[in-house]
Structure 1
Amino acid sequence: MLLVMLGPFRVHDDGGEPVELGGNRVRTLLARLALDLNHSVPVRTLIDDLWTDALPGDATNALHTLVARTRRALRATTGLRLSSEGVGYALRADPDQVDLHRFERLVASGRGALRRNLPAEAVEDLRTALELWRGDPLIDFRDLPFAEATVPRLERLGRAALTERIEAELRLGDHAGLIEELALLTARYPLDESLAELRFRALRAAGRRAEAASAYEQLRDRLVEHLGTEPGDRLREMRLALLREGSDDAAPTSGTAPSPSGTVDATEREPPDDDPGTGGGTAPNGAALPRRLSGFVGREPELERLDHALRDARLVTLFGPGGSGKTRLSIESASRITALRVLFVELAPVRDDQELAAAVLTSLGVREAPRLNHGPPGDPLSGLVETLGSEPTLLILDNCEHLVTKAAELTERLLTLAAELRILATSREPLALPGEKLLPVGPLEVPDNVEAAAAGPAVRLFVQRAAAARHDFELTAANAADVMEICRELDGMPLAIELAAARVRSMSPRMLAERLDDRFRLLTRGNRAAMSRHSTLRAVVEWSWELLTEPERTLARRMSVFAGSARAESVAEVCSGAGPVAADVDELLADLVDKSLVEAVDQGTVMRYRMLETVRAFCSEQLAAADEVEALGRRHAEHFLAFAETAAPRIHSREQLTWLARLDVEHDNTMRASHWALENSDADIGIRLAAALNWYWSMTMRHTELAGRMRDMAALSGQAPAESRAVVELVSRLYEDSYGWSERLGAAVEKLRDTGAMSRYVYLGLLEPMVWSLTERLDEMADSLRRAAEHPDPWPRAAAHYGWAILAERRGETGEGEEHAERAVAAFEAIGDRWGKAQAIGSTADFHSLRGDHESAVERLTESVRLLRELRSTTELVPQLARIGMHRVRMGDLSGARSELDEASRLAGTTPSSHRVVVTYGWMELTRAEGDTESAHRLVRDAEADLVELGSPPHPMMRDLLLSFRIRLSLDEDDPAGARELFGKALDSENPVADRPVSAVLCEQLARLVLAEGAPREAARLLGVAAALQGVLDRGDPDVREMCARLRSELGTEEFDELYSSRFDSSGAAARAELRRVLGR
């Protein structure tokens, strides 16, 4: 163990010898980083946690020094590495070499084994975990804030590990061996009911019932005296069960069956003495619960709900699709019941609904119905009532769906005639009786990320069954993603997962995942002991299919054309005709929902309907068999083309949120329609659909999807509206990454202009001018903006103001630009377009920042962020949050900047993108302001690498900004030679945009350089050039403010103003020429 935290803190070298760390602060830093092992901890957090009394004068530098000392101390321990990561530090190590993390892993593993009813494995893991404790956790750091929250959690986890280890040993039958230990523990923790319960169970199971009763009374007295309360329901029911057995120390009961949480409900959860796999009481021959041949996985919430339902209702129905685990859930729940006699009847083999009662009677082991007063001699119903008797009984009727009407009639009669009877039914559709408590049984949960894979019920089931099929199978980092994909593709359905897991004998998880497109052929080798309807995946679905009427089958197979879910009106329009008529669809949908072939998803104001993927695959086969694939595919594509063209203008209006939400929900269906158009070479549908969805795809930052889809559609030959095709071709050019990009893009936008496409697609009021800007054809951009300003629709007119603001900024016309930006805000507000308003507000913030009014800039960007949050536009939030962070840096609020950039980083993720480059630029500004030039240099390299990986579209302005930032760092480090070399690179770069604000930044940095070299007059003149380029000097930049103050002091105000105000040709080309002159190039 390299690092010990569960007791006195120690670090060992590779040979196991203690390492001399040389000071408490080093120990504290290691302990703090070890709590977040293998994760970066921000510098600010470390400073706050390490210096709790008084901060050193330069806290950041003090931390860097401490890190260096710690690295030196760890030289002899190659398994521990302290690394700089992001804007923080991380301790890197194998978690099993840190006792705290090894302890947590073992406890989680032991608990998992206990949940899977593998007590021997649980005992081994939990014992090993508890042996790691060598004293109080983090004892050397108890007074520090970072330990205050961690220590109580660890102590609770330690107590839980101890309790669950004892639970596991009880399940193994070591009752007598635990009694002494439990006596000591209950003395140490006299008010702990869980420990008291374990002691009670151990005493009772060991046959020492009198002592168990005495232990209960002692606990009761303590609880009443100290807490004024009685023992909980579970302990009270255990005591009652003990009293029913008699007060003498008779033979011990056999072990107890575990509940999902690792505890036992004594009233309804302890198996009977005679058979741990059956219910209690004396059941007729043949009524015993089926024995469980494998462990039960997941379903803890469902078990708990079922417990409550069986207490509250006399009729409970577990309903859900085939293979969802209804039977197994009913058996698992019933196997733990003692308060009721449990009888189990399997109805699947029963085919004659007229003889249902007799068949049930026979399955209970009664050959002939007795002669009773409830009916005529030999009446099966009378025989059933007599067999059930007056004893409290739970009757399980398994698989009622194929006899649902008769099963409902029998259930109603039995509940009426047998007052002490409760019935638990399993079915693929409800019995629809008064008082019926319905509990849906759906898929097992599949985790969203690989890190949580091992905890997901669906993955746990796969791993357990796969390990049974192949003894060396285990979940690993290498196969976790594939196992998750298998479980997700199989809808989390237990039977399908079990069938797939059995194939690991001959296939890897990757091979399985790749073959699931042909799931019915793949999953054909099931449990030989299973009933035929559960022997293959196809048999599961066919059983349900055979129970449908012909209209239900027609609708079900046609619904397979939808991707994901659909509204009822969409189902009616696409699926009706030559079979169901639209008016019948609502009723047929309700039938399919009742029969668990279709799932109804409540989305507040509207219901949507979806099929599980396995059901959809089966119904797709039926659609092909009926020769309806082509017709239904076209209907579906035409329907969602109409939907997209209806939605397109509405996402620019006050209905924006509503229609964006609808487009989000229908995304899978619009993509399915798009795929159909490509596969069938239907240019009209495909190109119109892509053009209609273009702005939605762009707003929601689906750029990868957008680029690929537009390229594919542009390649479609065939008849399509000219303006739609022009849009698709233009956008496909935007995402090219090859020589001649600008020329081809220019040709595409010329074609777009000539078709008059802006009249059909209002978003072109912004997109077309922005493309002209990208190609550096600013006169055409202005012409495009004038056409947008004259558009009959208000959205292009609002967009024109926003475009004019951008163009004016590029031309250095700051005053005009700010005026247009404010008009754009008002225009988008009047329309109700949050997205447009958010962008325009962001533009006004930049103008405020140039004047040094950072508070106003932050206030406006905060409003922009609020609007984008309403749109749930996560990716659009990223640059705005980063910009707020940069403005806070400029105003000196470094902690506020860090908070904004932290959120921006979290939302940006780790995938290279133009937004992530903006966030990295924000961190560059912050680390420079903090004096951490090492981190700033590293962040510049990260941003440059991301730009290279992005490739397309080109980012020349960002490349020049990064070069400018490198120049700033060189000047900060008193390296004028390095700065001059970087200026040369900036001037030699191929920048087709030659953006004035970027050139202005380069002029400001060159002013810093020549001022440092002793040329204040040249510096003053260069600041004037920068002001001419962007219309105003950037007085919000701390470097510029400092230069101005210094130059006024050195030159005098009059001479500075004269040099600063020198006339200058403010074109981009002239600016570059001036830079070359000053640099002597």
Structure 2
Amino acid sequence: MRIGVLGSVAAWPSANGVPGSDAAPPGLRLRGLLARLALDAGRPVTTEALVDDLWGEEPPDAVGNALQSLVSRLRRALGAQLVVTVQGGYLLHLDPDAVDAVRFGRLVATAKAGDDPVVAASTLEEALELWRGPALADVRRLPFADAAAARLEEQRAVAVETRAALGRAAGDPGAGLDALSDLLAAQPLRESAAVELARGLHATGRQADALAVLDRTRERLAGELGVDPGPELARARLDVLRGTPATPVRGEPEPLRRNGLASMTSFVGRDGDVGRVRSLLGTARLVTLLGPGGAGKTRLAREIVAGLDGRTEAPVAELAPLTGPDQLTGTVLAAVGEPELLVRNRDDTPPDTTMRLLTALGDRDVVLVLDNCEHLVDDVAVLTQKMLEAAPRLRVLATSREPLGVPGEVLHPVEPLPVADAVRLFADRAAAVARGLVLDDTTEPVVTEICERLDGQPLPLELAAARLRTLSLTEIASRLDDRFRLLTSGSRTALPRHQTLRAVVDWSWDLLGEPERILLRRMGVFADGATAATVERVCGGDGGPEPADVFDLLAALVDKSLVVAVPSGGVAPTRYRLLETIRDYAAERLAEAGEQDAVVAAHASWIIGLAEEAEPHLRGADQLRWIGQLRAENGNIAVALRRAAARRDGATAHRIVAAMGWSWFIRGRYEESVTWVEQVGALPPPDIPSVAARTLAYQVLGCIARGAVEEAVGRLDEAIAAAAAAPEPRHPALQLIAPLGRAFGGDSTLLDETARSSDDPWVRAFATQVRAQLAENEGDIELQRVLVREAHQLFTATGDRFGLGMTLGSLGELEDLAGNPGAAAAAYEEAVALATELGNDDDLPQFMLQEARLAIRRGDLDRARELCENAADIAAGPFGVQTMVRSTLAEIECRTGNIPAARRHLAAAARDLGHGIAREQRQAAVAMVRHRIELAGGDREAAVAALLEAVGAAIDSHDGPVAAMVVEVAAGFVLASGDADGAGFLLGVATAQRGTLDHGNPEVVATVEGVNNALGPAAAAEAVQRGRDLPRPEGLATVRDHVRAPIREDQARLR
């Protein structure tokens, strides 16, 4: 596949040279999504960035769903394998060179780095031929497009100018002049284009035309902007008037100083960094590549200057070996070089080294690389400022672990490599030592784990790859917990501080003051960073820096690239985190200092305080703010629990679980909840009765969530006793455990009483909603309708979005059953929005499936498929949602006539049956779809077998609504087989199971009409009543015979 953005957005098979008329994906934002991913091909683009770039300041209400919908459509257009979901976003999984803009940039860089002007000119011609029109022409209305297009158009303009200059250098001064003329016509104030066009015209003997171009440009600058032309235009005009040759004689170029060594290995990733820094150097005179040791700053700097304009010198001053400031100026001077005339003063005394350096720089066009500045940062800053003030055409590219702090300095952070680039780098370096390594479905996940755990930092990745001489991938991954012992096999020719991972970090540690060291080692306690206020609380005092001093030290560690500041992008506070390697190093230093126990205790105390403060707010209107705070600390909460469990610190572990239990439930993190509740339940209970009781209550709820009903019953009495013994006011979980436990045992008396009389409005709302669910299962739909509406009102009053989502899902089903699709859709959409706000990735796909089923009933199969695909992307948890997603997709494909695709989806659904709770309900759903597929394929016996399986599963489920759906399908089958009376009877059985027929299902409505037409209204009503009058279990027991009857009749006829 090839992607085009240099013109209208297009995608076409790589076998074709150019896109056809149907190459553009339909829809503005769909093309925009393709273009945005293509501009970062092979690198992840975060969800937040995509939302901002596609919708700007006016995103839709359910923007997450909207983005997922676009992604699903793009996958259908390009192929699912090309649009990959990664943590926090998406990436376009293809060779970046398949994107015309990326290929264009690579060809331009290659041309600029080449020594042969003929070859470079040919390369630029190839690059310019990739353009089909204005960049991003058909998506310019989207927020990201203008800036991206402007950047691409500027690169094209520079390429056009460079092509003309290379033509002159190659002895073909007329080459590229037409393109230059077009560029100047489009940008009549572009001085550089005017200069190149004039020099080209002059070189071809058209002196008058050259002067006309320059004078016209000068007049426009004066008339439209009120400014004088720049020195290049003035110099060009003077050259034309004097008849001075526009280029040096070919073969006699002035040698330029480029003393960087040639690279011994390939350069992987960082293409965006290279382009951005080169662009910065066009406007800024000091750019500092900022990052921790091993981030690849030196290699990036060399790659940047390697592709600079051929007229620019790019000397490199290696500062890492220097041991003192007295060596600095001489080292820089040696890199820059000086004319022999500057060796001595007039009085025969040696000139001052600084003066020699400044004089040597003079008016030369130089980009000076100052590599590894951090250990001499103050002295480098002073010298850099002097050089920039004395040499007007000097630009400096510095690499450092902290800023120089010189006025006008522009910082470019060297971030960790994206996962895709990190994997490419590892594989590239691994190939040199383990030629048998192939990235496939087995090895790529292990390489990805290694890359993620090494923070995407190039040097640790290269050290790890070198270990493949003696260890397997899996062995390397398993040994990363002891990474400083593992990663010790660097290149013998590397600097000593780059030969082992420990040496890399030791270098930075040795440059710190003692207060900075104390703070850094204490920050190793955080699993995923923290806010400044939290760092002050956990790391301040107790023999270390005072809390009031912590922020300044924290800022200093950020400047030294040892702490990463992560802005929230909104009103939330900035977070400060350590890369995993630095965190492991800090933990070692913390243990060496004997502070581990105290700092771990301070961290646990902070987590307990946060969780306990948040807990009461999780059932009210302010729950999103508190959920956001808890979500931000997921990693810290988990590590606090792991430490407590490892130390058998039951008091700490129980308090965290008791405070976090409900947060896990309302965010759909059931598996996490079950895991921690079970682990902590084995620890000694605390002396706080209410905490111990809540842990027991969450154990029972966890058993129910994973389908272990018998285990839940076995623990119920202990949990109820503990809840009863807890002091007042009792937590809502403790108020509900006895009513819920008794209700699941068949006695809802206490649940009814709690729903009516609890002093806690939220408890009343929850009890009422559960009572509504019980009424649904009992077939009492009228009571269910009353209770759901009451629960909805109560949850609305409390502001609890989780409870509102539950009631809206039920209200949507009730409206759907009543044949009110508009009201049902509104309820489902609101439920989806609420689950999205909560980040509940378990409820959300279930609500989306409800929307999908409604779309099927409305005949909108494309929308239903889109909803299912989006649900499949996020479905997880213990409820087996993937089974339902796959079976629904199978139904959709069956309805479109694509039976092979339907069978594939159904097979996937059947494989998922073993995962999650409510197996019987899901088995019934899968069997009903199999029945539909077999009927469509003409195999009545297989269809009957599938329907009988569905009936058996429905009976075993003891779930009234599921039983009703199966019996309604059976009624349709029996009617189609010619037994209208039997179909009417089964409609009555279905009504008894649910309390009503499904009037929103067109197939059920058709069955009702078919029975009425065949029997007449009176006889039809009598048949329905017979089925409805039977006790519910007896009615279900008759269904199998009605389903088998048509097959028996078929067999009798054949005999």
Task: Measure the CA separation in 2 of the matches of 1:764 and 1:338.
Answer: 76
Cα drift, residue 517 of structure 1? 1.9
Deviation of the 1:390 alpha carbon: 4.8
Answer whether contact 1:966 1:982 (CA < 8 A) is retained: yes
1:580 maps to amino acid: P
Q: C-alpha distance in 2, partners of 1:164/1:391?
A: 28
Matched, 1:722 2:692: yes
* Residue 670 of structure 1, CA deviation: 0.6
Contact 2:617 2:623 in 1 (8 A): yes
Aligned to 2:385: 412
Amino acid at match of 1:682: D
- Counterparts in 2 of 1:220 and 1:930: CA distance versus 1, 3 Å: closer
Q: 1:527 to 1:1020 in 2, by over 3 A?
A: closer
Higher relative contact order (CA 8 A, sep 6+): 2
Shift of 1:290: 4.3
Q: Which moved more, 1:636-645 or 1:719-728?
A: 719-728
Deviations 1:531-571 (A, max 9, x none): 22222211111111011111110110010011011111221
**Equivalent residues in 2 for 1:458-857, closer than 5 Å:** 458-469=422-433, 475-476=439-440, 478-576=442-540, 577-603=542-568, 604-605=570-571, 606-719=573-686, 721-734=691-704, 741-756=708-723, 760-762=730-732, 775=744, 777-780=745-748, 782-784=749-751, 786-787=753-754, 789-857=756-824
Q: Which range is displaced more, 619-628 or 320-329?
A: 320-329
Letter in 1 for 2:316: F
Q: Distance in 2 between matches of 1:171 and 1:672?
A: 49
1:352-367 equivalences under 5 Å are: 352-353=324-325, 356-357=328-329
Asked if structure 1 preserves the Cα contact closer than 8 Å seen for 2:930 and 2:946, the reply is yes
Which residue of structure 2 aligns with residue 215 of structure 1? Answer: 175
Match of 1:959 among 892, 899, 923: 923
SS of the aligned residue for 1:397 comes to strand
1:10-61 per-residue CA deviation (whole Å, 9 max, x = no partner) reads xxxxxxxxxxxxxxxxxx9xx999x99xxxxxxxxxxxxxxxxxxxxxxxxx
SS of 1:439's partner is strand
- Which residue number in structure 2 is paired with residue 308 of structure 1? 279
Counterpart of 2:288, as a letter, is T
Instruction: Flag the 1:654–1:210 CA change in 2: closer, same or farther, 3 A.
Output: same
1:26-45 correspondence runs (5 A): none
Amino acid at match of 1:887: L
Q: Residue deviations 1:341-365, cap 9 Å, x none?
A: 4443333333334675466557767
8 Å CA contact 1:203, 1:211 repeated in 2:
no
Code of the residue aligned with 2:418 in structure 1: it is: E
Aligned with 1:564: secondary structure? coil
Q: Is the 8 A contact 2:884 2:925 kept in 1?
A: no
1:945 aligns with 2:911: yes
Structure 1 residues 788 and 108: CA distance shift in structure 2, 3 A:
same
Query: Could you tell me whether the CA contact under 8 Å between 1:176 and 1:202 is conserved in 2?
Result: no
CA distance in 2, matches of 1:322, 1:567: 24
The answer on 1:917 being equivalent to 2:883 is: yes
In structure 2, the CA distance between the partners of 1:1077 and 1:235, relative to structure 1 (3 Å rule), is same
SS in 1 for 2:369: strand
Residue 428 (structure 1) aligned with residue 401 (structure 2): yes
Question: Per-residue deviation at 1:472?
Answer: 6.3
The amino acid that maps onto 2:700 is L
**What corresponds to 1:995 in structure 2?**
959
- 2:1017 pairs with 1053, 1057, 1060, which one? 1053
Q: CA–CA distance in 2 between the matches of 1:107 and 1:1002?
A: 46
What's 1:43 paired with?
none
Question: Using the alignment, how far apart are the partners of 1:171 and 1:1072 within structure 2?
Answer: 80
Q: Assess if the C-alpha contact under 8 Å between 1:714 and 1:728 holds in 2.
A: no
Give the Cα separation in 2 of the matches to 1:812 and 1:695.
30
What is the SS of the residue equivalent to 2:999? coil
**AA matched with 1:923:** L
Q: Distance in 2 between matches of 1:1073 and 1:191?
A: 71
Cα displacement (A) at 1:523: 1.7
Q: Residues of 1 paired with 2:805 and 2:346: CA distance?
A: 80
Q: Distance in 1 between matches of 2:188 and 2:283?
A: 25
2:414 maps to what in 1?
Answer: 441
Unaligned runs of 5+ in 1: 10-27, 37-85, 96-104, 113-152, 254-271, 280-287, 448-455
Which deviations, in whole Å up to 9, do the C-alpha atoms of 1:82-102 show, x marking residues without a partner? xxxx9x99999999xxxxxxx
Q: Letter of the aligned partner of 1:699 in structure 2?
A: I
Distance change (3 Å), C-alpha of 1:688 and 1:505: same
- Matched AA of 1:1025: V
Distance in structure 1 (CA, Å) of the matches to 2:662 and 2:463: 44
2:392 and 2:963 mapped to 1: Cα distance?
90
1:421–1:815 Cα change, 3 Å: same
Structure 1 segment 38-57 matched on structure 2, within 5 A: none
TM-score normalized by the length of structure 2: 0.75
SS in 2 for 1:213: coil
Unaligned runs of 5+ residues in structure 2 are 1-11, 27-72, 83-91, 135-152, 204-235, 1046-1055
In structure 2, C-alpha distance between the alignment counterparts of 1:729 and 1:879, rounded to whole Å: 24
Judge which range, 728-737 or 642-651, deviates more: 728-737
1:347 corresponding residue in structure 2: 319
Q: CA deviation at 1:859?
A: 2.3
Q: In structure 2, how many angstroms separate the alpha carbons of the residues matched to 1:91 and 1:440?
A: 34
Shift of 1:609: 0.4
- Going from structure 1 to structure 2, the CA distance change for 1:1065 and 1:970 (only over 3 Å counts) comes to farther
Judge conservation of contact 1:710–1:728 (CA < 8 Å) in 2: yes
Q: Aligned-pair distance for 1:597? A: 1.0
Moved more, 529-538 or 667-676: 529-538
Aligned position for 1:77: none
Give the distance between the partners of 1:525 and 1:238, measured in 2 at CA: 55
Cα pair 1:882 1:904 within 8 Å, conserved? yes
Q: Give the deviation of 1:445 after TM superposition.
A: 2.0
- Measured after TM superposition, the shift of residue 322 of structure 1 is 1.5
Distance, in Å, in 2 between the alignment partners of 1:388 and 1:642 is 60
**Counterpart-to-counterpart distance in 2, 1:644 and 1:521:** 37
Identity rate, percent: 33
SS at match of 2:619: coil
- Structure 2 counterpart of 1:212, one-letter code: D
Aligned partner letter, 1:755: A
> For 1:435, what is the secondary structure of its paired residue?
coil
Partners in 1 of 2:123 and 2:560 — Cα distance? 53
**Higher mean C-alpha displacement, 533-542 vs 304-313:** 304-313
Q: Alpha-carbon deviations, 1:1000-1056, whole Å to 9, x = none?
A: 334434544554565544443442333233222332333332232233333332333
Equivalent in 888, 891, 894 of residue 855 of structure 2? 888
Contact 2:367 2:395 in 1 (8 A): yes
- Kept in 2: contact 1:200–1:212 (CA 8 A): no
After superposition, the Cα gap between the structure-2 partners of 1:729 and 1:935, relative to the gap in structure 1 and judged at 3 Å, is same
Answer yes or no: is the 8 Å Cα contact 1:683–1:716 preserved in 2: yes
Which range moved further: 591-600 or 353-362?
353-362
Give the distance between the partners of 2:351 and 2:1004, measured in 1 at CA.
Answer: 104
CA 1:779/1:925 → structure 2, altered by over 3 Å: closer, same or farther? farther
SS in structure 1 of the partner of residue 174 of structure 2? helix
Count of aligned pairs: 905
> Aligned ranges for residues 104-115 of structure 1 at < 5 Å?
108=95, 111=97
Q: Which residue number corresponds to residue 145 of structure 1?
A: none
1:423 aligns to what SS in structure 2? strand
Q: Which residue of 1 aligns with 2:230?
A: none
CA shift, 1:789, in A, is 4.8
